[in-house]
Amino acid sequence: MTEDNNENSSTNDLDQEILRQLESMDSNQVNVESSESKEDSNDEFEKLLNSFIASEKEDTISSEPMPEISEEPLDIPVSQVDAPINYGADEAELVQAYKNFIDAIEAIANQRSLETPTLVFSPDSLVPNYKPSTGKRIVADTLACWDLLFMAFPEKLSTLNPNSSDEQFLNFAEGLSDQNLQLAIISYVEILIDIENCEISYEERRLKAQRKRIEKALYEEYKKRRERKERFIKAVAERNFPINAERLINNYFKTATKDAKGAYEALISNPAVYAPIENEKIKPRLFGLIKVTPQDGIRENHRIGAYLKKLKA
């Protein structure tokens, strides 16, 4: 009875350690935090914007016209109907390791007259790529199969240290005489390695997609800001104020990225801080009898500010 208790205790310890090793791979997620520094936002925006525009050009250049689809039925050989699934490199290795592991488990179950556990993982779920949810199904299958191994080889597995590294698992497998048990343990280690590789590839794809979304959002924001700026320039220019409308609005928008409230207050109260009043464009009063003075420039400055305060572009 004591031996059975020790055996069950060792089994539980090994179960827990295997679960810890498998599930620890799901915790290595990279937290991506966007910078909130206003001073660095412009530089980062330009970098992301340039990167996005470059990638868009590459996609356009590399795109090819779609081939015309024939309306005639295709004569497909029967041997090609069930074509093999095209996995990614990491996914293909994981599928192979999983299949080897399950083959060994089924062989052991047949030899020991044990019931094969119900499996929840399907290799098709690795198409087009690995996902963490798929990894969890593989973890569930692996743990269920380890329970069968403990029932089939209670004495042999009782000497297996639950804290073993991959290398120690492999060394343990080399000393086994049962080829199916040996294959099961080796394949289990390969599953651990392949899941880790798939997790890394998944994270890289996730970060790439996230970066793409950020670049697209920034580019859309850039286009909206540019269009709004052009509307402002057009509206001011149409009023024929004695000021360079393009210079005025461009300098305002540039300053507004750092201090939106302060920039707007300066725009409506003293627009000359962004572009000087061009006195030579001010029309003399009384049919030219009264020459333009600095006071006229001040008056025009206030008039432009009042207009900009009411302007909605």
pLDDT in tens, 154-186: 999 988 887 788 999 999 999 999 999 999 999
More confident: 86 or 289: 86
pLDDT of residue 67: 43
Find out whether 249 and 228 touch, Cβ atoms under 8 Å: no
93/206 same-domain check: yes
Q: What is the pLDDT of residues 190-203, one digit of tens each?
A: 999 999 999 999 99
Domain housing 12: 2-25+86-216
**301 vs 242: CA distance, rounded Å:** 9
Count of domains observed in the chain:
2
- Give me the phi and psi of 285, to 5 degrees please: -90, 165
17/140 same-domain check: yes
Domain membership flag for residue 209:
yes
- Alpha helices by DSSP H, listed for 31-131, are 38-62, 89-112
The backbone region for 76, taken as left when phi is positive above 0, alpha when psi lies in -120 to 50, beta otherwise, is beta
Domain membership flag for residue 43:
no
Least confident of 20-24, 115-119, 213-217: 20-24
Domain membership flag for residue 202:
yes
Domain membership flag for residue 229:
no
198/272 same-domain check: no
84 pLDDT above the threshold of 80: no
Domain membership flag for residue 233:
no
Burial state string for 41-74 with b = 16 or more CB within 10 A and e = fewer than 16: eeeebeebeeebeeeeeeeeeeeeeeeeeeeeee
212/245 same-domain check: no
More confident: 79 or 88: 88
User: What is the pLDDT confidence band of residue 292, given thresholds at 50, 70 and 90?
Assistant: confident
11 pLDDT above the threshold of 80: no
Domain membership flag for residue 302:
yes
302/163 same-domain check: no
18/152 same-domain check: yes
Q: What is the mean pLDDT of residues 271-298?
A: 82
Domain membership flag for residue 77:
no
- Alpha helices by DSSP H, listed for the chain, are 2-23, 38-62, 89-112, 132-152, 154-157, 166-174, 179-238, 245-256, 260-269, 294-310
